[in-house]
């Protein structure tokens, strides 16, 4: 039911007939197969822009045809396939129906049986609702469209269009050599010495996580990570049978003493950490902690997966050297991305690590999608080589600084007495601690009704009942003002 079809009020056909015809066509083409659950009536009204009685009439017509059925406990399900459906005029019956087919269930079983976990329901809602206009997105982890490079990206494309382009063939397993060289130079500026043979280009840092989950960890192994963490909100590792062991943080980041005990107890195979401007808490691990962490994990022989997605986005002062820059043993894998600072839509990230490791991951990438888009890789190489990236970062930092400061002001104004919050030195996020816990799904739903899209704390720690990940990167200043006011009211009112 995604898509934009709506009945036409100007048509001579009544709205309910238009709806039942549209649904009938979906069912008889197989696009809505038996077993598919229709959206709840309230949702259908919203999507179709009609009132409840129209939807009820249309569904009644389809029920009478034996195509759908109301289920006890609510919900309407498609029950017949095209064989029993009345075909829309003009379609011929190409397949002859055999007598009494032996049925093997329907797509519903398939959709539920695959090994990859679905996204959390709230994440699914967020992924869908982000494309509905009119909502204020208070938690979105990407820069607002107006913070993305517009004219500069046009210049990059114009440059590409005037060059004799290399044909857009498949790229080498590790990725486009010019891009790897550009990333290597960029990493050097952050203190990481990595030559192009140690760099694998991925389709965003997220794919890097999936490759590592599939390529380096056996089923049943476990990894240490900060709790809460972004990693809890995706299922790359859990779908690969990897368990999580969450570690507490203080204002300086992970606490090394607690790490050792948990590493031994859980027989951890790896530590995942976001040392700079942690997602979702915004915490910056300080230089002392980084050294301690390297030492402690060194004596455990514990590899580290360092997520550097936000490290360039410092707002007050550059962060300490990345863990990878402190690594002389090849024990750290480092993830980077252009999604947070430049353009999420390029889908360009990278993994830096020992050559045998990045080659293993490249081999899986070749089996997954045959490499990242060549066009994106060419554009990314021009973006980095042309100096656009550094220039854009300057502007982006100052815009983010303004928005961070505005959000902090607004929180002070509206949420004092309702919550406390972190003051991030970079990245996108403020971690809001509600003074009174509340059921996250209830808050999410109430917020949605008020026009707010929230990222509740349970996405990053299943048991969390008292936090929100706020982002100052996406909503406009005006939306921030309105959004934080609405949020304060909600926190006050939701029982």
Least distance from a second copy to the Cβ atom of residue 474, Å: 10
Q: Which residue stretch of 46-54, 121-129, 223-231, 457-465 sits at the interface with a second copy (rule: CB under 8 A)?
A: 121-129
Asked whether the beta carbons of 76 and 70 are under 8 A apart, the reply is yes
Q: Which residue stretch of 249-257, 360-368, 431-439, 478-486 sits at the interface with a second copy (rule: CB under 8 A)?
A: 360-368
Least distance from a second copy to the Cβ atom of residue 91, Å: 8
Helices 151-162 and 374-385: crossing angle in degrees, nearest 10, is: 110
Complex with a second copy: residue 369 or 405, whichever CB lies closer: 369
Among 79, 223, 346, 396, the residue binding a second copy under the rule CB under 8 A is 346
Helices 52-64 and 15-29: crossing angle in degrees, nearest 10, is: 50
Least distance from a second copy to the Cβ atom of residue 88, Å: 11
344 binds a second copy (CB under 8 A): yes
8 binds a second copy (CB under 8 A): no
Complex with a second copy: residue 198 or 276, whichever CB lies closer: 198
Residues numbered 288-317 forming contacts with a second copy, rule: CB under 8 A: 291, 294-295, 298-303
Among 158, 395, 413, 416, the residue binding a second copy under the rule CB under 8 A is 158
Q: Write each residue from 426 to 455 as x if it is in contact with a second copy (CB under 8 A), else as -, in one continuous string.
A: ------------------------------
Q: Beta-carbon neighbour count of residue 167 at 10 Å? A: 6
Asked whether the beta carbons of 8 and 22 are under 8 A apart, the reply is no
Least distance from a second copy to the Cβ atom of residue 238, Å: 10
Least distance from a second copy to the Cβ atom of residue 420, Å: 31
1 binds a second copy (CB under 8 A): yes
Among 9, 74, 90, 114, the residue binding a second copy under the rule CB under 8 A is 114
User: And the tokens for 150?
Assistant: 């517009």
Q: How far is CA 105 from CA 95, 102, 111, 311, 445, in A?
A: 20, 9, 11, 49, 34
239 binds a second copy (CB under 8 A): yes
72 binds a second copy (CB under 8 A): no
Tell me how far the alpha carbon of residue 284 is from its chain's centroid.
Answer: 22
Residues numbered 74-113 forming contacts with a second copy, rule: CB under 8 A: 81-83, 91, 93-98, 101-105, 107-108, 110-111, 113
Residues numbered 391-410 forming contacts with a second copy, rule: CB under 8 A: none
171 binds a second copy (CB under 8 A): yes
> If we measure between CA atoms, which residue out of 200, 31, 35 comes closest to residue 111?
35
Among 50, 194, 473, 475, the residue binding a second copy under the rule CB under 8 A is 194
Binders of a second copy: how many residues, by CB under 8 A?
135
Least distance from a second copy to the Cβ atom of residue 107, Å: 5
Q: Which residue stretch of 170-178, 279-287, 392-400, 462-470 sits at the interface with a second copy (rule: CB under 8 A)?
A: 170-178
Least distance from a second copy to the Cβ atom of residue 127, Å: 5
Residues numbered 251-280 forming contacts with a second copy, rule: CB under 8 A: 269
Q: How far is CA 464 from CA 81, 281, 338, 439, in A?
A: 43, 13, 30, 9
Among 61, 266, 286, 354, the residue binding a second copy under the rule CB under 8 A is 354
Among 18, 198, 311, 455, the residue binding a second copy under the rule CB under 8 A is 198
Residues near 179 by beta carbon (within 8 Å), at least 6 away in sequence? 201, 348, 377, 378, 380, 381, 384
Complex with a second copy: residue 11 or 370, whichever CB lies closer: 370
Least distance from a second copy to the Cβ atom of residue 36, Å: 5
């Amino acid at each position: 039911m995604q898509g934009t079809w709506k009945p036409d009020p100007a048509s001579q056909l009544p709205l309910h007939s238009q709806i039942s015809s549209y649904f009938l066509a979906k069912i008889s083409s197989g696009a809505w197969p038996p077993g598919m659950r229709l959206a709840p009536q309230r949702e259908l009204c919203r999507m179709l822009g009609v009132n409840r009685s129209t939807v009820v009439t249309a569904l009644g017509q389809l029920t009478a045809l034996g195509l759908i059925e109301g289920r006890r406990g609510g919900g309407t399900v498609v029950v017949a396939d095209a064989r029993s459906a009345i075909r829309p005029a003009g379609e011929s019956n190409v397949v002859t129906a055999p007598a009494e087919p032996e049925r093997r269930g329907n797509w519903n079983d398939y959709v539920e049986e695959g090994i990859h976990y679905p996204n959390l329901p709230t994440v699914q809602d967020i992924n869908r609702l982000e494309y509905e206009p009119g909502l204020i997105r208070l938690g979105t982890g990407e820069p607002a469209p107006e913070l993305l490079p517009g004219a500069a990206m046009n210049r990059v494309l114009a440059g590409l269009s005037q060059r004799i382009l290399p044909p857009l063939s498949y790229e080498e397993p590790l990725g486009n050599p010019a891009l790897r060289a550009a990333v290597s130079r960029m990493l050097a500026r952050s203190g990481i010495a990595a030559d192009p043979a140690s760099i694998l280009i991925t389709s965003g840092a997220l794919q890097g996580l999936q490759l590592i989950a599939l390529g380096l960890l056996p089923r049943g192994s476990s990894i240490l990570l900060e709790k809460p963490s972004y990693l809890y909100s995706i299922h790359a590792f859990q779908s690969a049978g990897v368990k999580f062991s969450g570690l507490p943080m203080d204002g300086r980041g992970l606490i090394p003493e607690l790490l050792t005990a948990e590493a031994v107890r859980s027989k951890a195979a790896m530590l995942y950490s976001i040392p700079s401007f942690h997602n979702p808490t915004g915490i910056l691990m300080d230089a002392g902690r980084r050294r301690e962490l390297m030492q402690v994990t060194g004596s455990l022989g514990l590899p580290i997966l360092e997520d550097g997605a936000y490290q360039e986005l410092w707002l007050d002062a550059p962060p300490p050297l990345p863990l990878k820059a402190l690594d002389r043993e090849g024990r750290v894998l480092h993830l980077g991305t252009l999604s947070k600072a430049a353009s999420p839509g390029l889908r360009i990230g990278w993994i830096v690590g020992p050559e045998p490791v990045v080659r293993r991951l490249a081999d899986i990438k070749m089996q997954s999608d045959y490499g990242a888009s060549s066009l994106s890789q060419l554009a990314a190489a021009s973006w980095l080589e042309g100096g656009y990236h550094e220039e854009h970062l300057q502007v982006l930092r100052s815009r983010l600084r303004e928005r961070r400061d505005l959000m902090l002001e607004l929180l002070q104004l509206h949420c004092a007495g309702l919550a406390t919050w972190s003051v991030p030195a970079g990245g996108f996020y403020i971690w809001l601690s509600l003074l009174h816990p509340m059921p996250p799904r209830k808050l999410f739903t109430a917020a949605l009704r008020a026009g707010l899209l929230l990222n509740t704390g349970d996405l990053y720690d299943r048991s969390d009942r008292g936090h929100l990940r706020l982002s100052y990167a996406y909503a406009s200043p005006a939306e921030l003002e309105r959004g934080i006011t609405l949020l304060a009211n909600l926190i006050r009112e939701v029982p």
